[in-house]
Amino acid sequence: EGVAILLIISIDRFLIIVQRQDKLNPYRAKVLIAVSWATSFCVAFPLAIGNPDLQIPSRAPQCVFGYTTNPGYQAYVILISLISFFIPFLVILYSFMGILNTLRHNALRIHSYPEGICLSQASKLGLMSLQRPFQMSIDMGFKTRAFTTILILFAVFIVCWAPFTTYSLVATFSKHFYYQHNFFEISTWLLWLCYLKSALNPLIYYWRIKKFHDACLDMMPKSFKFLPQLPGHTRRRIRPSAVYVCGEHRTVV
């Protein structure tokens, strides 16, 4: 389910930054989250009821795929690998490549724009001609930070899930590989590495997302708050999604 959410966010960033289309609203976000949960349940449910069946040794972890000649089980392992890793990996990678190419193109266009033309246009059109580039700069900076956060989550996803997925695929189709003496020991460590992804995600949210950081501090009991906090009325209140346009005599949100 976490992979599906990361996939949805990556596609949303791609549409906003590359295609200049903001398709995601609160209602659609709720629908997509519900669909991701339902899909995850449908994918995991067959194994929960023992179908397809696989004879697992007593010393083997129950969450590790093993060698079998059952075509149905092999097809299920391939389906799981495609849905949980390979398809999200390819789609997210394509989205990131498009976003990086757009950001690089925009940076080159901004730096290559003659400064003299900007100043002459500003003198002819007045201060309002400077507000639009400033507005776009703030908005793009916020989107770039969000993209960097998703990039970190994507890197953690690859490091944690790629070894286990590859290991499971090889073990399902290779009898010699599955019956190695250290197979179950290695598979257990790789399984824990997958669990590590779920443990690292909240820490990344706390580090990168200010709203999540503030919400965690508000929920934390006062006895666990070791660092001094500013009084509530002195804290700076901002909306990260808002665009602030500064003029000579006023500031407009």
Rounded mean pLDDT, 153-158: 92
Average pLDDT in the chain: 75
Contact, 63 vs 26, CB < 8 A? no
How far apart CA 3 and CA 153 sit, in angstroms, is 10
* pLDDT band for position 113 (cuts 50, 70, 90): low
Residue 243 above 70 pLDDT? no
Give the residue, 61 or 74, on which the prediction is more confident: 74
Helix (H), strand (E), coil (C) string for 129-182:
HHHHHHHHHHHHHHHHHHHHHHHHHHHHHHHHHHHHHHHHHHHHHCHHHHCCCC
Cα separation values, 185 from 12, 139, 173, 188, 216, Å: 39, 49, 19, 5, 37
Please tell me the predicted confidence (pLDDT) of residue 133.
Answer: 47
* pLDDT band for position 56 (cuts 50, 70, 90): low
Residue 26 above 80 pLDDT? yes
Please tell me the predicted confidence (pLDDT) of residue 233.
Answer: 41
Per mean pLDDT, which range of 68-82, 142-156, 169-183, 185-199 is the poorest?
A: 142-156
Q: Which two tokens stand for residue 125?
A: 């059109």
CATH number for 91: 1.20.1070.10
Identify the domain containing residue 62 by its residue range.
2-252
Please tell me the predicted confidence (pLDDT) of residue 162.
Answer: 93
Please state the pTM of the whole predicted model: 0.68
Q: How many domains does the chain have?
A: 1
Please tell me the predicted confidence (pLDDT) of residue 112.
Answer: 60
Rounded mean pLDDT, 19-40: 85
Per mean pLDDT, which range of 32-41, 66-75, 190-199 is the poorest?
A: 66-75
Residue 108 CB-density burial (10 A; 0-12 exposed, 13-18 middle, 19+ buried): exposed
* pLDDT band for position 52 (cuts 50, 70, 90): low
Give the residue, 193 or 68, on which the prediction is more confident: 193
Per mean pLDDT, which range of 23-37, 122-136, 161-175 is the poorest?
A: 122-136
Per mean pLDDT, which range of 6-10, 57-61, 218-222, 226-230 is the poorest?
A: 226-230
* pLDDT band for position 163 (cuts 50, 70, 90): very high
Residue 119 above 50 pLDDT? no
Residue 36 above 90 pLDDT? no
